[in-house]
């Protein structure tokens, strides 16, 4: 699923040091200028420069630890380094365990690297204090999907469909939940709606193809995924799902070719090691 990062990038404008003493107007302006410089690098996608600048600010202005640590984590998210991002969000929560942005970031990156047990406390805090907020609802729905609590996940996404603007990403995600529940025709309906909302968004094609296969129409499923590869032939998620279909059809050779294409197209960096594990399990000759 498309990695939509729903974190807010806020300016770090805190007016007191952690010891409680006020700082001079000149120092405050210097601090704001340093933060603006780092933020400019972030928005210009100079993530390595932004990380260095935020770290320098972190050392010089420890009162802003939580917010600055959050921004460092966001930089790592944008380069798909979820392990490092996870560490930064944990550090942010060590400074302030109720920082909502860092809680969301902690849950998001924890899901990406498979640390479901380590994010339970963050999930519980979000559910207790922010469960009716849209950004949080998105993340909680995804968490319960990853935990295979499909009924809870579906309930959250149904609520979002009522409360939030209906987007291709949201419709696609609800369709994915329905597919995991075995409700393939309902899932296909959501994927069709997502494609209608955003014809160049690839994931609904890839998910629809897999759902059609699971519903018994493998040929149409393959054709649907191949149509996404015509839009973008560097489509790792499409290659993975195509590989899964061929694996189910006992065509291991073609399945493994697609898994390899998924890896070469960047699947591991974007989504994790699932395809590499499939290759190890099904494509390596056993000695």
| CATH number of 37's domain | 1.25.40.10
Q: Is residue 40 included in any domain, yes or no?
A: yes
Model confidence band, residue 271 (pLDDT cutoffs 50, 70, 90): confident
Domains identified in the chain, total number: 1
Q: Is residue 88 included in any domain, yes or no?
A: yes
Q: Is residue 194 included in any domain, yes or no?
A: no
pLDDT of residue 66: 82
Model confidence band, residue 228 (pLDDT cutoffs 50, 70, 90): very high
- Quote the mean pLDDT of the chain: 89
Q: Is residue 181 included in any domain, yes or no?
A: no
pLDDT tens, 85-121? Answer: 999 999 999 989 999 999 999 999 999 999 999 999 9
Model confidence band, residue 23 (pLDDT cutoffs 50, 70, 90): low
Q: Is residue 264 included in any domain, yes or no?
A: no
Q: Which residues pair with 16 in a beta bridge?
A: 22
Burial class (CB in 10 A: 0-12, 13-18, 19+), 219: exposed
Q: Is the pTM of the predicted complex or chain greater than 0.75?
A: yes
Which domain does 107 fall in, by range? 1-130
pLDDT tens, 233-243? Answer: 999 999 999 99
Model confidence band, residue 10 (pLDDT cutoffs 50, 70, 90): very low
Closest residue by Cα to residue 188 from 170, 202, 199, 204 = 204
Q: Is residue 8 included in any domain, yes or no?
A: yes
pLDDT tens, 34-52? Answer: 999 999 999 999 999 999 9
Q: Is residue 36 included in any domain, yes or no?
A: yes
Long-range CB contacts (within 8 A, 24+) of 28-37: 31/57, 31/60, 31/61, 31/64, 34/60, 34/61, 35/11, 35/64, 36/11
Q: Is the pLDDT of residue 225 over 70?
A: yes
Closest residue by Cα to residue 197 from 174, 225, 226 = 174
Q: Is residue 192 included in any domain, yes or no?
A: no
Q: Which of these ranges, 19-28, 41-50, 236-245, 255-264, has the smallest mean pLDDT?
A: 19-28
């Amino acid at each position: 699923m498309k990695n939509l990062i729903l974190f807010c990038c806020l300016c770090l404008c805190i007016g007191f040091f952690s010891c409680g003493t006020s700082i001079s107007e000149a120092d405050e302006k210097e601090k704001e200028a340093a933060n603006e410089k780092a933020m400019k690098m972030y928005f210009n996608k100079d993530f390595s420069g932004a990380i260095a600048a935020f770290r320098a600010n972190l050392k010089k202005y420890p009162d802003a630890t939580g917010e600055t640590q959050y921004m460092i984590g966001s930089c790592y998210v944008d380069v798909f380094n979820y392990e490092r991002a996870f560490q930064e969000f944990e550090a942010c929560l060590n400074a302030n365990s109720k920082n909502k942005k860092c809680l969301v970031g902690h849950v998001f990156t924890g899901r990406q690297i498979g640390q479901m047990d380590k994010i339970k406390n963050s999930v519980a805090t979000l559910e207790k204090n922010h469960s009716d907020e849209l950004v949080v609802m998105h993340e909680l729905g995804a968490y319960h999907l990853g935990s295979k609590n499909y009924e809870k996940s579906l309930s959250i996404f149904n609520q979002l469909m009522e409360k939030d603007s209906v987007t291709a990403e949201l419709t696609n995600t609800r369709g994915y939940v329905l597919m995991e529940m075995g409700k393939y025709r309902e899932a296909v309906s959501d994927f069709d709606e997502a494609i209608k909302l955003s014809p160049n968004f690839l994931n609904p094609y890839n998910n629809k193809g897999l759902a059609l296969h699971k519903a018994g129409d493998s040929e149409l499923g393959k054709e649907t995924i191949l149509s996404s590869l015509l839009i973008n032939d560097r489509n790792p998620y499409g290659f993975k799902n195509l590989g899964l279909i061929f694996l189910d059809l006992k065509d291991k050779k073609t399945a493994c070719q697609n898994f390899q294409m998924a890896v070469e197209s960047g699947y591991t960096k974007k989504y994790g090691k699932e395809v590499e594990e499939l290759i190890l399990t099904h494509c390596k000759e056993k000695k």
